[in-house]
Amino acid sequence: MFERRDLSEELLGVREEHAPGALVFDVRTDFETLPPDVAENLLAVVDGIDPLSYDDAWLPEDAPGALSGLASETFTVGAPGDGGVAWTRQTTPPSVFVKPRLEGSPEGFVDFLVSEALVEVGLEVPEHFLGFFGARYREFAEAAALSPADTYQLAAALFDAFVGRQTREVFSAWEPTHAELHAQWVDAGERLEPRLADLSKDVAIGRTDFADAAELACSAIKHGVEIPTPFDALDTAAYAQHGADFAVQWAEATFDALEDV
C-alpha cells in the first residue's frame, strides 16, 4: 500500500531544510481520505501514530460527512480537495503521500507538489481548514450563504490562500538553490494567469460559481500572481496576521455586497 518514493537531490535538500526525517510514499490506491483500516497499514512503515481530532461542536448541522469524519476520533488522513499529494503530522515521522492520480504527470510538476507538501509540513499551520477556522467555522458557514458542499470548497480555498502566502516566500527564494523546483513554481503561476483575467466578470454573470472562482484565485496566491476582487483582500498582511477572524469578516462583507448587486 505504501512504498517509499525515491527523491531527487533537490527534494532531498528541501526535506532537510523544512521537514527533516519526513517520509514520502507512493500510495497504490487513490484516495480522498484514507479509510481507517488502510491507514492502520501505516504502522508497518512509520514509528508511531498520534490521531488528530477536532471538536464536532465547530460543525454546522448540515456539514458534509467528510467534516464529521475529521471531527471524530478516528485516525483520518487526507480530505476531499487535497489533490494529488497529501501530508500528515499524525505519524512519527511526518508523512507525505503521492497518489496514483498523478501517474503520467510531468516528473518536475510532481516533484514541485512533493516539495510544497514538505514545506507545509515544516510550517506551523493546521493540516486542514477545520483546524484553521476552529470554533469560528459555524460563523463562516453562516456568512458564506452557500450550500454545505460549496461552503466546504470555499473554506478550503481560503485556507489554501492563508498557507500560500507563507509558502511563496520559500518558493520565491529557491531560484539559486533549487532551480528546477523554482522553475516549476513560476510555470504553474504563469499557467494560472490567463484563467484569472476575467474571473470577476465570470462570477458576476454566473458563468463561474463563486466557490470555483475562489478555489482558482486562492490557489494563485502561492504563486505571487495578481488576483481579482474580491479575493485580492486575502492576499494581504491583514489576512496573514489575523487568519480565521479575517476570513469570517471577509465572508460577511463579501456576501453582503453580493446580495446588494
pLDDT band at 74, cuts 50/70/90? confident
Residue 238 and residue 128 share a domain: yes
10 C-beta neighbours (distance < 10 Å), count = 19
Residue 250 and residue 129 share a domain: yes
Residue 38 DSSP one-character state: H
Last residue in a domain, options 104, 133, 166: 104
Render pLDDT for 144-192 as a digit per residue (tens, 0 to 9): 989 999 999 999 999 999 999 999 999 999 999 999 999 999 999 999 9
Residue 77 included in any domain? yes
Last residue in a domain, options 73, 104, 135: 104
Instruction: Let me know if 261 is exposed, middle or buried by CB neighbors in 10 A (0-12, 13-18, 19+).
Output: exposed
Residue 208 and residue 133 share a domain: yes
Residue 133 and residue 94 share a domain: no
Alpha-carbon span 132 to 129, nearest angstrom: 5
Residue 94 and residue 45 share a domain: yes
Alpha-carbon distance values, 178 to 36, 79, 122, 185 (Å): 36, 29, 17, 11
Please count the structural domains in the chain.
2
pLDDT, position 2? 93
Residue 74 and residue 131 share a domain: no
Mean pLDDT of 130-151: 95
Residue 250 and residue 145 share a domain: yes
Mean pLDDT of 63-81: 83
Residue 59 and residue 130 share a domain: no
Residue 260 and residue 192 share a domain: yes
Residue 145 and residue 98 share a domain: no
Residue 30 and residue 99 share a domain: yes
Residue 90 included in any domain? yes
Q: Domain containing 61: what range?
A: 1-104
Mean pLDDT of 21-36: 90
Q: Which residues contact 151 (CB under 8 A, 6 or more apart)?
A: 140, 141, 144, 211
Residue 261 and residue 187 share a domain: yes
Rounded mean pLDDT of the chain? 93
Residue 240 included in any domain? yes
pLDDT, position 260? 61
The answer, yes or no, to whether residue 80 has pLDDT greater than 80, is: yes
Following CA atoms 63, 67, 72, 76 in sequence, which dihedral angle do they give, to the nearest 10 degrees? 160
Q: Which among 102, 122, 131, 105 has a CA at the least distance from the CA of 31?
A: 102
Residue 137 included in any domain? yes
Residue 173 included in any domain? yes
Considering only residues 218 and 206, tell me which one the structure prediction assigns the higher pLDDT: 218
